[in-house]
């Protein structure tokens, strides 16, 4: 892929990822968190499913393939986005974005444990540096909020989803995978909303605008571009560029929500970004034979 095109797509997808935290937090004024994110992905998944059907793009024929897509949707959409939106009730958009985008560090750990991938000492040092950055970002507080846990769980779910996409994603058309993993994830979240909260959504011009932006730009466009980048590149190296997303998350939180950017968030963020860079950019991943 042309490097300029690659760079443009990276900035596009990471800016959409990061800004969704602040816009999503604004949306929580009008809806319960799981219902808001469920509607977001039901709309996005339904639109994408209709498009790929009308374009007659090849769909999976085996039940096993649909199960794979559903599992990706469970981790990549339901797990990640559900935890993010719940976390936004008690922590800032900036903190949630930084915790979520620990994903590349966890990709190294899970890749080593479950996919027999080998990493250099510099990459493992990067993992340690990244986790130290998380502690600094959170201010090494003892009374961590419940949102902190959900933010971390979103990173775990995303790391699993990243590895599943790299393992299975090449079997599917990018647009088909994007459409149905969102649809499956949205259905899971919709059911979860009735089980885990008292669902509500206030219909106003602002709430509809927020929902449509989240569904179209922050879901359809963002997921399609991200899946394309994952499928055409090595997952660890591609994930390295996710350090841009929490930058956009903190920036939009400051611009839209007047969130204060404390010194520990800046220092911790620098450590996390440095760790991600060391993990995924300075050395190549080697698979064991």
pLDDT the model gives residue 149:
85
pLDDT band of 52, cuts 50, 70, 90? very high
> At 106, is the pLDDT very low, low, confident or very high (cuts 50, 70, 90)?
confident
Question: Which element (helix H / strand E) includes 286?
Answer: strand 286-287
Residue 274 confidence (pLDDT): 80
How do beta strands 117-118 and 286-287 pair? antiparallel
Average pLDDT over residues 36-61: 94
Residue 6 lies inside a defined structural domain of this protein: no
Residue 151 covered by a domain: yes
- Domain total in the chain: 1
Half-sphere exposure of 170 (CA within 13 A, CB side): 8
| Mean pLDDT of the 160-184 span | 88
How high is the pLDDT of residue 283?
Answer: 42
Which residues does residue 201 pair with via DSSP β-bridges, in sequence order?
31
**The pair of three-digit structure tokens given for residue 175, joined into one six-digit string:** 């647009």
The mean of the pLDDT values for the chain is 83
Q: Most confidently modeled of 93-107, 138-152, 274-288?
A: 93-107
Write the pLDDT tens digit of every residue in 265-286.
778 778 877 877 776 664 444 4
| 187-196 pLDDT, tens digit each | 999 999 999 9
As a whole number of angstroms, the distance between CA 162 and CA 72 comes to 9
> Residue 4 and residue 2: Cα distance in Å, rounded?
6
Nearest-CA neighbor of 179 among 228, 231, 220? Answer: 220
- Residue 2 in any domain: the answer is no
178-200 mean pLDDT: 95
Residue 283 structural domain: 11-287
30 pLDDT above the threshold of 50: yes
106 three-class SS: helix
Residue 4 within any structural domain of the chain = no
Instruction: Give the span between the Cα atoms of 260 and 175, in whole angstroms.
Output: 38
Q: Choose the most confident range, by mean pLDDT, from 39-53, 138-152, 168-182.
A: 39-53
Instruction: Say if residue 133's pLDDT is above 80.
Output: no
pLDDT reading at 118 higher than 90: no
Nearest to 106 by CA among 233, 244, 281, 272: 272
* CA pair distance 214, 207, nearest whole angstrom: 11
What is the C-alpha to C-alpha distance for residues 147 and 230, in angstroms, rounded to an integer?
A: 28
Q: What is the pLDDT of residues 208-220, one digit of tens each?
A: 999 999 999 998 8
Answer left, alpha or beta for residue 95, where phi above 0 means left and psi between -120 and 50 means alpha. Answer: alpha
* Residue range 73-84: mean pLDDT, rounded: 93
The pLDDT of residue 1: 66
Read off the pLDDT band of 138 (50, 70, 90).
low
**272 token code pair:** 């996390």
Q: Are the C-beta atoms of residues 259 and 252 closer than 8 Å to each other?
A: no
Across 169-178, 201-210, 255-264, 273-282, the highest mean pLDDT is recorded for 201-210
Compute the Cα dihedral for 164, 45, 214, 207 and give only its sign: negative
Task: Give residue 288's pLDDT band: very low, low, confident or very high (50, 70, 90).
Answer: very low
Under 8 Å between Cβ of 84 and 21 = yes
């Amino acid at each position: 892929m042309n490097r300029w095109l690659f760079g443009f797509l990276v900035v596009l997808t990471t800016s959409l990822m990061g800004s969704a935290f602040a816009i999503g937090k604004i949306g929580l004024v009008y809806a319960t968190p799981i219902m808001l994110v469920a509607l977001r992905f039901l709309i996005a998944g339904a639109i994408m499913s209709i498009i790929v059907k009308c374009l007659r793009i090849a769909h999976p024929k085996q039940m096993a393939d649909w199960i794979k897509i559903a599992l990706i949707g469970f981790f990549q959409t339901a797990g990640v986005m559900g935890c993010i939106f719940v976390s936004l009730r008690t922590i800032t958009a900036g903190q949630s974005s930084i915790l979520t985008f620990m994903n590349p560090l966890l990709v190294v750990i899970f890749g080593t444990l479950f996919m027999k991938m080998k990493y250099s000492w510099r990459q493992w040092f990067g993992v340690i540096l990244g986790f130290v950055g998380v502690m600094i970002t959170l201010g090494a507080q003892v009374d961590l909020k419940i949102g902190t846990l959900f933010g971390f769980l979103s990173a775990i779910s995303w790391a699993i989803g990243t590895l599943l996409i790299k393992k299975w994603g090449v079997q599917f058309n990018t647009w088909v995978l994007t459409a149905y993993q969102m649809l499956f994830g949205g259905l899971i979240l919709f059911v979860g909303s009735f089980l885990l909260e008292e669902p509500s959504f206030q219909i106003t011009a602002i709430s509809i605008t927020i929902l449509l932006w989240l569904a179209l730009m922050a879901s359809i466009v963002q997921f399609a571009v991200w899946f394309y980048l994952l499928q055409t590149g090595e997952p660890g190296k591609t994930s390295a560029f996710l350090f841009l997303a929490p930058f956009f998350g903190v920036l939009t939180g400051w611009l839209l929500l007047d969130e204060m950017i404390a010194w520990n968030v800046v220092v911790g963020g620098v450590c996390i970004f440095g760790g991600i860079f060391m993990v995924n950019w300075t050395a190549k991943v080697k698979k064991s034979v």
